[in-house]
Copies of this chain bind each other. A is one copy, B any other.
Amino acid sequence: MRHAMDHTLSDEPLLARVESLAGLSPGLHDRDFLATWRASDDAIRFVLEAASLLREGAERGLSLQVFDGGVGVSLFRDKSTRTRYAFRAACSLLGLSTEEIDESATQLAHGETVRETAAMLGFATEVFGIRDDMFLGEGHSFMEQVAASLEESSQAGILLGRPAVLNLQSDLDHPTQALADAAHLVEVFGDLEALRGKRVAMTWAYSPSYAKPLSVPQGIIGLLPRLGMDVVLAHPEGYELEPEALDAAARVAKAGGGRFRQVGSMREAFDQADIVYPKSWAPRRLMQERARCRREGRPEALRDLETQALAENAKHVRWTCDADLMSRTRGGAALYMHCLPADVTGVSCPAGEVSAEVFERARLDTYREARWKPFVIAAILLGTRFAEPANVLRELVTRAKPRRLTGLAAHR
């Protein structure tokens, strides 16, 4: 099976690729991007193709600056390295400054203040990138509050435009991750069509850590069946995903000609899989309890929950991706995927999601998977900020401005 090892980008000229985008109606302009399953098919196709085009442009040394000043605001309510960098890199490549909101330094809080603060930070802002994934039932709703406030101020003519809210991971979806994953699959398998019928094992895996969000598996099941893929979800009892994501998975599978089903073990899920995505997440009931404790202001209860969650995880320590399991996949050579960082047995923890042997073989592939994120974010920005994003891409290609001074001009 083809891996990213020998990835070759299309040889067709960049301009022809722009024209193939020009026929799409992504419908993203002046909208937010909170969940892939709320976006149109053309939007998904636009993001994947524009991300690839932007990446190829960057590799060929094109300047991608479409803004001459302006701000991308980010707000991270959870730790982040990869996504934070990806957001900053995308903004920088497109010509935006970034401003990170530190809630402890700004008093951004609930109710009145969220509404007000969003307006105050929106005057010259193109996008708000938000990560809020720690509490079930809260992150997505926080993003909707921010969006509603921006909408109100924009309607009232107070802002220069209507900044987009971009979900950089919520309790529901992690769309920039899922789309980066999909872009990686397109690269590995050749094109979008080639994904049809491919089997994906999205499975829970053991980790000695607590309160990992549910949004990565939810993002995967909510997106890949839509691309015609055959997605199999497996997890121990008690690790159920959110109903909205399960419903979305069933719905998009039907609409996209893919499949979504659940099985009871990693073994079943891995059987003849083309792709495996073993990844830990927290027990749902404990995550619900956790959100309730916070709402009720009982932080001491969180510690108990942590102990319970770790104990619950420990019952399923055998849910780990090792060479034996991998041998059950198609040709014994499924593509291993992970959003990183992975908990690698014997490397980052005594027992984790994946054996060192399997991970090391796939490690560079996981980096290839991750590198799509800045370009996916940049593509979403183009789609949400410009009424005719294909025209903007065409101008980027035809103006052919180099991102780095070539030193050639001086020779003329």
Contacts and interface: CB of A to CB of B under 8 A. Distances in A.
A185 interface: no
Number of copies of this chain that the complex holds:
3
Interface string A23-58: 000000000000000000000000000000000001
A89 B125 contact: yes
What range describes how many residues of A lie at the interface?
Answer: 35 or more
Interface stretch (A60-68, A214-222, A286-294, A323-331): A60-68
Interface string A342-366: 0010011000000000000001100
Nearest to A402: B68
A88 B99 contact: yes
Given A160-B58, A403-B67, A82 B120 contact: yes
Contacts of A157: 7
Nearest to A126: B404
Please indicate which of the listed interface residues A101, A348, A402 has the most CB atoms of chain B within 10 Å of its own CB. A348
Contacts of A63: 68-69
A159 interface: yes
Nearest to A359: B112
A277 B86 CA distance: 43
A156 to B, nearest CB: 5
Contact of A410 (B76, B124, B340, B395): B395
A236 B45 CA distance: 64
A396 interface: yes
B89 A71 contact: yes
B398 A410 contact: yes
A409 B91 CA distance: 22
A402 B399 CA distance: 15
A364 B159 CA distance: 11
A367 B119 contact: yes
Nearest to A340: B116
A53 B82 CA distance: 37
Contact of A69 (B69, B95, B121): B95
A201 to B, nearest CB: 23
